[in-house]
Structure 1
Amino acid sequence: MGSLLFHSQPNLQTLTIKISSQLENNISTTKSPKSHTLRAKVLQQVDTSLEQGNEREALALVKDLQGKPNGLRCFGSARQVPQRLYTLDELKLNGIDTLSLLSPQDLTLGSIERNLQIGVGLGGFCAWRLLGLSPQELLVLVLGVLFLGSVDSIAFNGGVGNLVLDTIGHTFSKKYHNRVVQHEAGHFLIAYLLGVLPRGYTLTSLEALQKEGSLNVQAGTAFVDFEFLEEVNAGKVSSKMLDRFSCIALAGVATEYLLFGCSEGGLADIYKLDSLLKSLGFTQKKADSQVRWAVLNTIILLRRHEGARSKLADAMSSGKCVGSCIDTIEEAIDTTDL
């Protein structure tokens, strides 16, 4: 499979890496003002290229500084676990319960949706009693609501309903808002460490609507993925590209699992990965092997760089641009942790 930085297969119990807080706190002392200025200038150009839709130029700028001491040391520099078949017991030895990780259930939005349905029902009942609506008028009202819901489902793929639920969730549930931020920070960090440039991100459906002008676009992190799409269109995806896609797809649910013990969002990410593996003709055994490796690899990377992910989440929550988020990662990770 893809290019590996580990040349042997160590005992899995030793794979969980602890971050040295002392090294992390001293990161700023190892970077010269000159190197920081150079990186800041290039990242500003990257942001400009991305805003103009010139993804190839943005990626070229990043690759030009990739791995250089005064440039982007962390881009594509992740130290990964060997690619092989891992058993469920081996994952458990590393504290990974795949059932909790790969079976997300959005309990927060589900609860909000049920409360809204109850509220609409009570509102309809109150309107019926206060306004003296006849049974026929009440029926027309109910059918009208159902019709609007059907139109949203067909024309906008449920976009209006998702927009309402997501907006309410971010407004009234700090838990939901924080979970979404951490989820997207996981996607962003893993992509960058594996050599895939994030193109932009949105944290709410309302923000996605404002940026994209479409109700069919959900909040999330987008990537400069023309290389991946070219391989998909050619009908042949390289093992290295598949490894990247697998880890990035699972990074959100993996982040939630590490922070909260289970994942609520990310079901669509899992479906996308499953769909890709099926389109490539993977048998169930081969697909399971790919997913288990990706889960282990992603979890270990997130554990190793927990401090960077936390700072990145703060930057994303503040609405920082892609270049600033990348700079946050570079500042937070010491070369000895790569």
Structure 2
Amino acid sequence: MGSSVMYHYAGFSYHSQLKFPSFGIVCSSEVVGVSRRQVLEQVDVVLAKGDERAALQLVKDLQGKPGGLRCFGSARQVPQRLYTLDELKLNGIEASSLLSPVDATLGSIERNLQLAAVLGGVSAWNVFGFSPQQVLYLSLGLLFLWTLDVASFNGGLSSLVLDTIAHTFSQKYHNRVIQHEAGHFLIAYLVGILPRGYTLSSLEALKKEGSLNVQAGTAFVDFEFLEEVNGGKVSATTLNKFSCIALAGVVSEYLLYGHAEGGLADINKLDMLLKGLAFTQKKADSQVRWSVLNTVLILRRHEATRAKLAEAMSSGKSVGFCIETIEDTIGNADI
């Protein structure tokens, strides 16, 4: 995190027809329960192979069926219209605290590292008797490494260092990242977008993806969205889903801590998408306000589920296990 990003892979596609084994006369809920667990295990398998289409088909085959995946795409949502800032306040939402995240933890660590570097340079100068020319060469070398990181890895190396230190020494930061990503995961599933993986630290993302250009975050089966984008037209339904997903992390933080620190990149990406779709400022504001209100109300309604999901994600559970956690925690009355 720091910022969570949606990263994409191309996979081989096929459609699999789900076939349920024949059981004798036993409790129907047990039959469906076993079948659901088997399907979710298969979802994990095909996601590991990179076959997003097959994974989505498996989920859709069980979507909305009794004892199956009742919650996928089942979120109750508010009517879409232009909401004013006053209406958001009436629902307990202070937009400025939500939509202007500043990561105080990473900022503090970065400033301390910069101070330590300066003090270290001064100490080295005094202890080792470095000449001004040697100090200049050392400074230029560090500047070159920083520029290389920005140009080649989009700041990935710096993010890796800061994020690793923050996770190691700040339990608050560590917990905030988990809750942030749980918000993305839960909202995506409830609005009908299948999560396909997640990482909770830059180091974990590096180990899984082998690239500094990929930061921590939650990834989604989003080929349908990309096909619409590439076709030059994004449907209102699709835009609504991804607007809520983009804001889910900052909303989770806001609901838990009263303000958001992470997720600025999520907001910027949503802003870029709306500009790319040629939205006027008024239309963009309307989209964002509706998405904020909708996401807040969904996450408030499913607070206990988000907490359970965060526990599963903090333990490194699979996507299928996380989905089952959501399905087991949300009651029929909440759908």
TM exceeding 0.5:
yes
Aligned length: 308
Quote the Cα distance in structure 2 between the aligned partners of 1:33 and 1:112.
51
Cα separation, 1, equivalents of 2:201 and 2:128: 37
- Equivalent residue, structure 2, for 1:199: 196
Aligned to 1:55: 52
**1:131-169 residue CA offsets vs partner (Å, 9 max, x unmatched):** 111121112112211111111111111111110001101
1:90 and 2:87 correspond: yes
Find the residue that maps to 2:219 and give its secondary structure: strand
Matched with 2:133 is 136
> Within 5 Å, which residues of 2 pair with 1:132-211?
132-211=129-208
* Unaligned residue ranges in structure 2 (runs of 5+): 1-27
Aligned partner of 1:286 in structure 2 is: 283
Partner amino acid, structure 1, of 2:147? S
Runs of 4+ in 1 over 2 A off after TM superposition: 31-36
Q: Structure 1: any 5+ residue segments left out of the alignment?
A: 1-30
Measured in 1, the distance between the counterparts of 2:320 and 2:45 equals 9
Question: Partners in 2 of 1:130 and 1:39 — Cα distance?
Answer: 66
Q: Residue 210 of structure 1: CA displacement?
A: 1.0
TM-align CA RMSD:
1.0
Give the structure 2 partner of residue 277 of structure 1. 274
Find the aligned partners of 1:242 and 1:141 in 2 and give their Cα distance. 49
Q: Which residue of 2 aligns with 1:298?
A: 295
1:266 to 263, 267, 275: 263
The SS at the match of 1:207 is helix
In structure 2, distance between residues paired with 1:279 and 1:154:
24
Alpha carbons 1:128, 1:138 under 8 Å: kept: yes
Aligned to 2:3: none
TM-score (normalised: structure 1): 0.90
Letter aligned with residue 278 of structure 1: K
Find the residue that maps to 1:123 and give its secondary structure: helix
Q: TM-score, normalised by structure 2?
A: 0.91
Give the percent of matched residue pairs that are identical in Structure 1 and Structure 2: 72
Question: Any conservation in 2 of the 1:38–1:70 contact (CA below 8 Å)?
Answer: no
Q: What displacement does 1:279 show?
A: 1.0
Question: How far apart, CA to CA, are the structure 2 residues paired with 1:61 and 1:168?
Answer: 39
| Among 31, 39, 42, the residue aligned to 1:42 | 39
Q: Which amino acid aligns with 1:183?
A: H
